[in-house]
Each structure stands twice: as C-alpha cells, then as structure tokens.
Structure 1
Amino acid sequence: MTDLFSKFDALIAERQALLDSGVRDPFSLVMEQVVSPTEAIISGKRTILLGTYNYMGMTFDPDVIAAGKKALDEYGSGTTGSRVLNGTYQGHREVEDALKDFYGTDHAIVFSTGYQANLGVVSTLAAKGDYIILDADSHASIYDGCYLGNADIVRFRHNSVEDLDKRLGRLPAEAGKLVILEGVYSMLGDIAPLKEMVAVAKKHGAMVLVDEAHGMGFFGEHGRGVFEEAGVADQVDFVVGTFSKSVGTVGGFCVSNHPKFEVLRLVCRPYVFTASLPPSVVATAATSIRKLMHAGEKRAHLWKNSRRLHHGLRDLGFALGTETAQSAIIAIILPDQETTVRLWQALLELGLYVNMARPPATPAGMYLLRCSLCAEHSDEQVDEILEIFAKAGAATGYLSSRAA
C-alpha cells in the first residue's frame, strides 16, 4: 500500500534535523498569554510582539471588545448556517454597511476568512475562456482561487509593468481578462506600482482586482489602501481584504461598484457553502472598521515606527528586503535556514518575537525574518527592539560576518 505521506518525507527529515540540532520549532510556538497588541507571555517570559499583523492595534480596543461581548450576549456564539440560508444576522449587514462607508463603494460582501474571499471571488469571476493575469509573487489564496476556477492563468514578473503590458498584449482582445495585484506584498513588504499597472490593465480592456490585506488601515487619505494612495480608486473594479490584519479579528471581504456585483451571493461557492461568521466577530469588525475611518494619528505613528525600525536595522548592518520603509512590514534577508533559525531563536530568548519564513512561502527561495509593526508600539519599544536585534546579531555572529 502506498503511504500518501511519502511525498512529505524530505520535509519531515529536514524538520527533524533542525529540531535535533537543539533549536526551538519556529512553527509551533504557543502564546500563553496575550497582554496587549504589542506584548505576550511566551515560555513564561514577557515578549515584544513584532510578528503579528495587528497593524493598527485594534485587538484590545475597548469599544471593539464591548461590541463583541454585547453581540455574544444578544445573539449567541454562532449562526450555524450559511449566509444564503439562516446565517445572515443584523450584524452581517452592519459590517457590510461599515465596509461600504469605509471604502465609499456601492457593494460589499463578507466571507468567513480572507483566504475564502480570494478563493471565492477569483474562482467565480474568471471562468473557462477567460484569463487571469497575476503577479508571480501573489499570495497562496490568489493562486488557489485560480486553481479552483477554470480560467487560463498568466503570470508576469513581480512588480514589472513592462512584463504585464507584454503578456496582456499577447492575449485575445475579445477575451475576458482579470488582472490581480496586491497593494503590499506580505513577505518583503514592498508595494506594487499600482498607478502604472492599472493604466496598463485598462489599456488592454482588463478588469482589475487589488488585494489590500496588508494595506488597509494606513495607506491613503482614508486608510483604504495602496490603491487609494496611488489615485486609482475609480479604475479598480474589485478590492479584496481581510479582517485579520488592521481590523483585528477574522473574516474577509470584497467591495465593488459594479452594478451586477450582488449576484456573487448566489454563485460564489466559498460564500454559499460556508457557515457565516459568528455575531461577536462581525460586531467587533464593524466597530473596528468605523474607528479606522478616524485613525489618522495612529496611521502617522505607525509610519514613524516603520521608518525608525527600517533605518535602525539598516544602520546595524542587517540586509533588508526593501531600500526604504515601504509598509509596516520589514523583512531581514538571511543566507540560509541555519542562520535564520539561530537568529530567530536568539531574538526570542532576548524577548522579541518575529516571523520566520522560508521556501516555498518566500519569493525566489529566500530565507527571512519578517517584522510587522503595530501602531501601538511605543517609541521606547522600538528602541528596545533595536537593542535586541543588535545583541542577537552579535551573539549569533551574523553582524560580524556581514561586516567582514
């Protein structure tokens, strides 16, 4: 009998060798207590969190928590049904109304996760005979949406306006085309040249979907995302996002001004055949979204944190994924898995948690440590973060090897 797990043997052996070397497993860490958006207790020790997507620090906002508690008391713990059956409560309408107000759109549809939002919208919009044109570094949920559907898939080089133009030019003029872009790419924290890319897409008669999972909350005048800051809101057909980053809870969504958009509620399988979000979750999301509409000071502080950390890490001698601070994500590029894991563990032992990322999740086979800043990180915490990086870089020999 064939063991269906055999295909994973190489990965199993690699992980075991890593653990046998005495390092901690970076992918099974437990947060014993979360104290605030920026601190947790890990292995009984106070730890600064620099590896969450809690960009705007909304997880402990008193109004958000109160809304969730109220909904839990009034509506119970869950809906036990799909949105198209018994699973649409008042709160689901309210969070969709909040999204429409936040984005200034006519339509909004909420999914149970951000992953499902991409899975559903991408697979439903583009069908057999259509084309999906996507950045090679697109998120897994976008790729999975492509695979679930029947459209032809065309990839272009990461952030290359020229390659996008060339590949669109090769497609049949009469075919349906959906260009998928991301405002912020989650591994390196770099942003897409949306102004130029959207112009190219429209030149070739394509519709445009922008994933703003990592841009919502702190890009643009209203915090809508990179597409707003780029001035292309009137040319983007669909914006997909998630509640698990700046909003501070869980869920996904798509907003649009397309007059036929509401038909998605009847034809999108990941929407139709999934239980809806619990009432407490949509209540927290709606409250958070409405507060993000007036979060200018938080956005400014987050940008200050990002620029300070990027500048400080570069001055210490770390190799970074971007030349300047482009978003709330700062990636430290490392030469191999051993160096990455040793530095990750040294940081954790000194009281700092960051994400470790490795192939195949990373672009071009990179190993990296990913820092995700929060608007609630204080100036003093950023100072402490830089001190910990300096100590860990010296203790592991990484900084001395870079200097040499």
Structure 2
Amino acid sequence: MALLDKYAPLAAQYRQLEEAGANPFNVPFDDVLSPTEAIIAGRQTLLLGTNNYLGLTYDPLVIEAANAASTAAGTGTTGSRIANGSYGSHKRLEEALADFYGRKHGMVFSTGYQANLGIISALAGKGDHLLLDADSHASIYDGARLGYAQVTRFRHNSPDDLANRLRRLADEPGDKVIIVEGIYSMLGDTAPLREFAAVKREYGAYLVVDEAHSLGVLGATGRGLAEQAGIEADADFIVGTFSKSLAGVGGFAVTDMEGADILRVVSRPYMFTASLPPANIAATLAALQQLRARPELRADLNANAARLYRGLAQLGFTLGPEPSPVVSAIMPSPEAAFGFWAALLKAGLYTNVSLPPATPKGLALLRSSVSAAHSPAQIDHAINLFADVGKGLGLLPETPALAAAK
C-alpha cells in the first residue's frame, strides 16, 4: 500500500468534481477587481463568500500603509520574533489592539489559526481541563490537542450542559478553561455569552472568547459579542483574526491577566513561526484605525446581512437561526449543495460549500458571507440568482424572483 492510498476515496470524489467542471475547493480567480467582484473563468463574478466583512482590502489608506512599510522595512522578517527580534510595528500593533479592547496585554500571531493553537495549548496543559462548544472551529480543536489537556465537549450554545460538565469536574484538580466563539462560522449564530459568563463565575473557570467572525461586526465599538453582551470583564482572553474585518492575515490575543508575557515563551506556535511581514502589520494597523473611525461600515455590513437573510428566507430557504454576516442556506444533501454552488458560479455568483465534518449536525451548507462594500443592488442581484437557481434545480417553488428584500 502506498503512503497516500488511504486518501483514495477522497481523491475519487475530487476527480468527480473536476470531471463535472466544478470543484468548490479549487476556484482560480483570474483577477480580483474589488472587495465584491472578481473575474472567474473569464466572467465577471459577484463575490459573496470571502469573509471581507468591512470591505477594507481595497481601502486606499490600508494599501498606502502596506506599500510604505514594504519600502521602508522590506518584504519579510525571515524568522520568528524569538529568533529575529520584534519590529517596532509588531509592538505598535499589539499596543493598538490592547488599547482597542481596553486590555493590558496584546499578542500577535502569524495567522488566526495559530492564535487559537498558541493560546489554547499554552493555557491548558496536562492535568487541566478544556471545555469546548461542540461546534467549535477546527483551530480550537487542534489547539486543544496540542496542549494535552483533558477535553470535554458540551452541547452547542448550551449553558446548562456546560454547567453540568463543570459540576462533574468540580472535585477534579487542574484549571478549567471554557472556549466559545462570538459568531460561529458555519451557521452564523451567536453564543449566549451572558449565560456562559454566569456559569464561568459560578464554577471558578476561565473563559476564552474567539471573536474571529464578530470583531468589527458586533458591539457598540465593534469589539465583538463580548462587548455587545456586556461581559468583557468575564472574558479572560479575547482571541481573533485579521483575515476577516481587518482585511489581512494574522491573529491576536488580548488579556488583562498578570504575567501574560510568559505566553511568548511557552506558546510553540508563537515561538517557532516566522513573524508577520511589515506590510501586513502596517495594513492591519490601518484597517484597525478605519474600523474605529468609521462605524458606518459596521452599520452597512449588518444592513446587508439582514437584507440577504430576509431575502433568502422569503424565497423559502432554511437558514441559520439568526441574521449575521454569515448566511448559510441548508441544502438537502452534499450533492445538492455542489450542484447549487456550481450553478450559482456559472451564473456569476461566488459562494462557499461547507460539508461535514466541518459543519454542525452533518449539514450540507451553501454559505455566503456579506461585506459592507456590497451595494443593496448587489445583494438583491444575489437573491435573484438564488431564486433562479433554486427553481431550476427544483429546490424552490416556481415563484417570481424577488426584486428586492426590504
């Protein structure tokens, strides 16, 4: 048996997708025109699956900051911060993030994935307990594996089940660390953070909130769900990413916990990864400034999300439980999801297909992500394409496509 033969069934599925001319996991973009449009297979295509929540990837100030930083400090750091040192811009970004969240400490990672790996594996080790929401992102599960803590899953968004799990662990030694997300990336639902915070206090646990999809989206100043829920004091660590609202690459953690700098030498994903290049750091700083200075971006984003959600619901799609920038239509099968996705792409609309095991409850999802940069007309055009394709595939009744979702 050859080394990669174990993947033969999966490889066969990929070949079938390629032969059908539609592989949602390998879409070449010929050219990216703006935060909302690209050329795919020679066709101008509306982008509704990029997580570019605030549309800042083409912001002139963000681009100018990136270009200036490359000219001044070069294209890369060529090593980790432990080995090659920290640039001044690394420290400035960490200070800016800590200031934004009103925290004492900020820590920057090279990806959002590594932020979860680095923080979770460092906070809970052998003899400790990690309590994870069952629908947690892969990076959370991988961080739990890296740290050797005992892992306990609780039912998605269930404070009662979390309390039951902690009750059973009450007499067990070791720290108890709860990990939840602000907005969950598959169905776009939010966590009941007030209730989780109450459970955390009752059992003397620690709480980490991953705000990857809620930074720039929720809260009076865009800090995320913890701000919106009024429980920031209960969130011992906030973790997030730069690749959604901040239009770049990287991740971070902020905290008020004393002695947090020790994490820089006990977090292996931080220690042994090349640090972010100057252009990326500068662009993220500029994007953070735009997030803080332009609350209208958050308002536009959430208006677009509600418009898409309402429009698809009116067509008869089964969606996630609440409007958010992640709007997922539940498909009857993976085959239906692939077919729908391919037909939308052919019609000029790019979305995402999400399948088990990455999805909750084994669901097949056609996942959209909305941007503040989308115009209402673009959202309405997307709704009409969903209607046309849904009727063509027999997944919707023969009713006229909606001209607008008001």
TM-score (normalised: structure 1): 0.96
Question: How far apart are the structure 1 equivalents of 2:360 and 2:118?
Answer: 24
Q: CA deviation at 1:340?
A: 0.8
Q: Which residue of 2 aligns with 1:83?
A: 81
Q: Which residue of 2 aligns with 1:248?
A: 247
Is 1:333 the equivalent of 2:341? no
Q: CA deviation at 1:14?
A: 2.5
SS at 1:376's partner residue?
coil
Question: How far apart are the structure 1 equivalents of 2:302 and 2:233?
Answer: 26
One-letter amino acid of the structure 1 residue matched with residue 87 of structure 2: Y
Q: Which residue of 2 aligns with 1:14?
A: 13
Q: Which residue of 1 aligns with 2:374?
A: 377
Q: Which residue of 1 aligns with 2:389?
A: 392
Question: How far apart are the structure 2 equivalents of 1:400 and 1:231?
Answer: 43
The answer for unaligned runs of 5 or more in structure 1 is none
After superposition, where does 1:24-173 map in structure 2 within 5 Å?
24-173=22-171
Q: Is contact 1:112–1:276 with CA below 8 Å preserved after alignment?
A: yes
Q: Which residue of 2 aligns with 1:365?
A: 362
Count residues in correspondence. 399
The answer for unaligned runs of 5 or more in structure 2 is 400-406
Runs of 4 or more above 4 Å deviation: none
Question: How far apart are the structure 2 equivalents of 1:3 and 1:201?
Answer: 49
Q: Which residue of 2 aligns with 1:184?
A: 183
1:210-242 Cα shifts (integer Å, max 9, x gaps):
000000002001100011100000111000000
Q: Which residue of 2 aligns with 1:317?
A: 316
Q: Is contact 2:391–2:398 with CA below 8 Å preserved after alignment?
A: no
Question: How far apart are the structure 1 equivalents of 2:31 and 2:159?
Answer: 45
Question: How far apart are the structure 1 equivalents of 2:217 and 2:150?
Answer: 34
Q: Which residue of 1 aligns with 2:273?
A: 274
Q: Which residue of 1 aligns with 2:402?
A: none
SS at 1:100's partner residue?
helix
Question: How far apart are the structure 2 equivalents of 1:118 and 1:296?
Answer: 27
Q: Which residue of 2 aligns with 1:288?
A: 287
Q: Which residue of 2 aligns with 1:220?
A: 219
Question: How far apart are the structure 2 equivalents of 1:15 and 1:76?
Answer: 39
SS at 2:81's partner residue?
coil
SS at 1:134's partner residue?
strand
Q: Which residue of 2 aligns with 1:238?
A: 237
TM-score (normalised: structure 2): 0.96
SS at 2:328's partner residue?
strand
Q: Is contact 1:328–1:374 with CA below 8 Å preserved after alignment?
A: yes
Q: CA deviation at 1:341?
A: 1.0
Q: Which residue of 2 aligns with 1:208?
A: 207
Question: How far apart are the structure 1 equivalents of 2:15 and 2:39?
Answer: 26
